[in-house]
């Protein structure tokens, strides 16, 4: 029962591919949606002292709610669809994304912002062209953590039929069949590793000034 059935792998390459793509089709929108929501919230938390605690606190509390509960509670609202899984997972990314964006913005030297404003840029332009780029390393660190975490959490949505590679876990569980479970775990890890590497590359491409700095150091 616990021996691996090696014949399973070549027989299921198609399934593994489909499930991996399925998995990504849930994880990627979740992280992107998280960013869309987190960035403005983080800017507010950074700028408005009073709301900072509230926003960070609220996202912290949301994070402690078990993910399965979110999916189940969303069912009457969003139906048994991919969107339910994506919405639940988006909520989980918020904690990391908001926190890292706030920290990133905090780390931007004040004089950089002031100089930009002094040169006539409006606050929004300063935000987009000076602060966020400078905060990018810390923000990207958050995106990486959120992405890896989301890729792992997608499998919980197998409880409502949208678990991507997590469907392999339910399949193996139902039939007491270890092989698909092992395949699912390995593929999930691989996917997370790949996603992380891609994000590192993206960060490298988007922060050319950081490259020069490492050259000097």
Site for another protein in 78-117 (CB under 8 A): 79-83, 86-87, 111-112, 115-116
* Among 42, 46, 188, 199, contact with another protein (rule: CB under 8 A): 188
Query: How many alpha carbons fall within 13 Å on the CB side of residue 14?
Result: 1
Q: Which is nearer to another protein, 50 or 64 (CB)?
A: 64
- Pattern 46-85, another protein, x by CB under 8 A: --------------xx-xxxx-xxx-xx-xx--xxxxx--
**Rule CB under 8 A: which of 3-22 touch another protein?**
5, 12, 18, 21-22
List the structure tokens of 170.
């339910």
Choices 43-51, 97-105, 177-185 (CB under 8 A): range interacting with another protein: 177-185
Cβ partners under 8 Å of residue 46, min gap 6: 52, 101, 102, 105, 106
**Is 209 buried (19+), middle (13-18) or exposed (0-12) by CB count in 10 A?**
exposed
Q: Which is nearer to another protein, 2 or 50 (CB)?
A: 2
If we measure between CA atoms, which residue out of 46, 148, 14 comes closest to residue 92? 148
List the structure tokens of 208.
């050319």
Cβ partners under 8 Å of residue 5, min gap 6: 177, 178, 179
* Among 123, 175, 198, 200, contact with another protein (rule: CB under 8 A): 175
* Among 103, 117, 196, 203, contact with another protein (rule: CB under 8 A): 196
133, 98 in Cβ contact below 8 A? no
Does residue number 145 form part of the binding site for another protein (CB under 8 A)?
Answer: yes
Does residue number 160 form part of the binding site for another protein (CB under 8 A)?
Answer: yes
Does residue number 200 form part of the binding site for another protein (CB under 8 A)?
Answer: no
Does residue number 133 form part of the binding site for another protein (CB under 8 A)?
Answer: yes
List the structure tokens of 72.
């189940």
Please work out the total of residues on this chain that contact another protein, with binding judged by CB under 8 A: 85
Instruction: Using CA atoms of 6, 8, 14, 17 in order, give the dihedral in degrees to the nearest 10.
Output: -60
Nearest-approach distance from CB 21 to another protein, in angstroms: 4
* Among 6, 10, 120, 174, contact with another protein (rule: CB under 8 A): 174
């Amino acid at each position: 029962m616990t021996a691996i059935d090696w014949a399973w792998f070549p027989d299921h390459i198609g399934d593994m591919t489909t499930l991996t793509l399925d998995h990504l089709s849930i994880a990627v929108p979740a992280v992107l949606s998280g960013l869309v929501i987190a960035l403005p919230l983080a800017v507010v938390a950074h700028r408005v002292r009073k709301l900072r605690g509230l926003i960070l606190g609220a996202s912290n509390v949301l994070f402690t709610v078990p993910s399965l509960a979110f999916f189940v509670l969303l069912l009457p609202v969003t139906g048994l669809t991919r969107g339910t899984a994506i919405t639940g997972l988006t909520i989980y990314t918020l904690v990391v994304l908001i926190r890292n964006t706030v920290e990133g913005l905090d780390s931007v030297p004040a004089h950089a912002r002031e100089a930009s404003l002094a040169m006539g840029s409006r606050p929004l332009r300063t935000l987009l062209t000076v602060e966020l780029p400078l905060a990018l390393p810390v923000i990207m660190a958050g995106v990486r953590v959120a992405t890896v975490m989301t890729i792992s959490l997608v499998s919980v949505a197998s409880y409502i039929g949208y678990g991507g590679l997590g469907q392999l876990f339910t399949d193996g569980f139902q039939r007491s069949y270890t092989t698909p479970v092992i395949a699912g775990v390995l593929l999930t890890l691989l996917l997370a590793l790949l996603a992380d590497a891609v994000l590192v590359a993206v960060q490298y491409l988007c922060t050319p000034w950081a490259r020069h700095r490492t050259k000097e150091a």
